[in-house]
Amino acid sequence: MLNSLPRSRQTDDAVFGKTIYGGSHEPVYGGVLSFMRRRLTRNLDGVDVAVWGIPFDAAVSNRPGARFGPQGVRRASAILEGDPQYPFRADPFERLAVIDYGDCGLDFGRHDETPWQIEAQASEVVDAGVTLLSIGGDHYVTWPLLRAHAKRYGPLALVQFDAHQDTWLDEEKRIDHGSFVARAVAEGLIVPERSIQVGIRTHAPDSCGLEILHGEDVAELGVVGVVERITARVGDASTYLTFDIDCLDPAFAPGTGTPVAGGLSSREALMILRRLGSLDIIGADVVEVAPAYDHADVTSIAGAAVLQHYLGLLAEKKG
């Protein structure tokens, strides 16, 4: 029997693992791929965190391909073994029960149903009291995710890492990845006075009341200064983190639909995330990873590292 094999010889923990706790030690180049080898299941009993893919990119304004983001990030995450995770010095799965919840089911021919399907399926997880970490997909998916979370937690603080403000106003039925913030503010899903955008390197017609740290601001403030601005803005509010991978400079994330020069390095971004443990994080996502434009999986690796940092923060909070 496979489950009787020593841990060093067992493979496919995503399917055959005995427990949803503990790290995996199977070869990084083989086995069934789930996020960090977590059990693939829809059973939410006893689960702390569910990692969920949303393979949708019909809202992009430039290069499509983020529908393959969940696959790319999962593949890149295989290198994150069950050892103590840097820089947290601990295995998050010793404290957190984490599963891979699979992907959102969507009809490619009925985009009008997409936001409501995402919201409904996300709500099944959120309403069960499980923290949802989502892998996009383009940034349009964050709007229905915010709807699902706000129904349970009320209006949220938003911490958005991005090259774009995504505050473009649009028609109610328009499918557009550049408008989720404007919609969220208009619907009262987020509290602008408690929300902040980090790494912005484009202009939009309206700030919608959010604080903006441009790419140049990040460089001038440094990691410590940026963290201070984020924590001061958010305070103790229930917080949703969204990380558009194009927040990073194209040198660190070429595999995305709308790359913008002058962004953060992977190291800067991860150092900032590492220091956000005081926030009350109730949900998070990473979006806009488009593996077809990637080189050597560097963008997918960055996306996997962002999610790994989310897990590290949640594990420390629980511990």
Domain of 193, CATH number, reads 3.40.800.10
Residues 6+ apart with CB under 8 A from 171: none
Q: What is the mean pLDDT of residues 129-137?
A: 97
Name the token pair of 72.
């790319």
Cα–Cα distance for residue pair 26/281, rounded to 1 Å: 30
Total-model pTM:
0.93
| 3-class DSSP state of 171 | coil
Q: What is the mean pLDDT of residues 261-285?
A: 98
pLDDT band at 1 (very low <50, low <70, confident <90, very high): very low
Q: What is the pLDDT of residue 2?
A: 43
Q: What is the pLDDT of residue 9?
A: 55
Name the token pair of 127.
């309403």
Cα–Cα distance for residue pair 313/290, rounded to 1 Å: 26
Q: How many domains does the chain have?
A: 1
Range of the domain at 263: 2-318
Q: What is the pLDDT of residue 211?
A: 98
Q: Enumerate the known binding-site residues for Mn(2+).
A: 139, 162, 164, 166, 244, 246
Cis geometry, peptide bond prior to residue 192 (ω within 30 degrees of 0): no
The residue count of the chain comes to 319
H/E stretch holding 199 reads: strand 196-200
Q: Enumerate the known binding-site residues.
A: 139, 162, 164, 166, 244, 246
Cα–Cα distance for residue pair 252/270, rounded to 1 Å: 12
Q: What is the pLDDT of residue 5?
A: 47
pLDDT digits 0-9 by tens, 218-236: 999 999 999 999 999 999 9
pLDDT digits 0-9 by tens, 201-222: 999 988 999 999 999 999 999 9
pLDDT band at 10 (very low <50, low <70, confident <90, very high): low
